[in-house]
């Protein structure tokens, strides 16, 4: 339980440091649907989605990898011009 709380705090820190806030503001609905498992093949009810998220906090690497894959997090050490290039089409 304590490990999951520390992972949640670490995830918040990662979002503050590497979050692609321009994309998050632009596609807020998509991010909410991703968090609460509302779309795609992995649809879940709200309690099931919360339990799934709680289970994912056991290992933070998967959550960070998913957020990087969908572009909500920048890769570590990315330069400002690369960040602008990634958000060029928003």
SS3 34: helix
C-alpha–C-alpha distance, residues 32 and 29, integer Å: 5
Who's near 1: CB < 8 A, 6+ residues apart?
none
Q: What is the pLDDT of residues 46-73, one digit of tens each?
A: 888 888 888 888 888 988 998 898 889 9
- The reported pLDDT for the residue numbered 16 is 93
Confidence at 32, pLDDT banded by 50, 70, 90: confident
* 61-72 per-residue burial string, b: 16 or more CB within 10 A, e: under 16: eebbeebbeeeb
Q: Provide the token pair at 21.
A: 């806030």
What are the sequence ranges of the domains in the chain? 2-86
Per-residue DSSP letter, 73: B
User: pTM for the full model?
Assistant: 0.78
């Amino acid at each position: 339980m304590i490990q999951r709380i520390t992972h949640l705090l670490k995830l918040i820190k990662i979002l503050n440091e590497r979050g692609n806030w321009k994309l998050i503001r632009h596609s807020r609905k998509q991010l909410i649907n991703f968090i609460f498992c509302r779309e795609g093949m992995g649809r879940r009810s709200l309690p099931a989605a919360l339990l799934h998220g709680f289970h994912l906090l056991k290992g933070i690497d998967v959550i960070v990898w998913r957020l990087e894959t969908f572009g909500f997090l920048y890769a570590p050490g990315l330069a400002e011009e690369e960040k602008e290039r990634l958000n060029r089409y928003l």
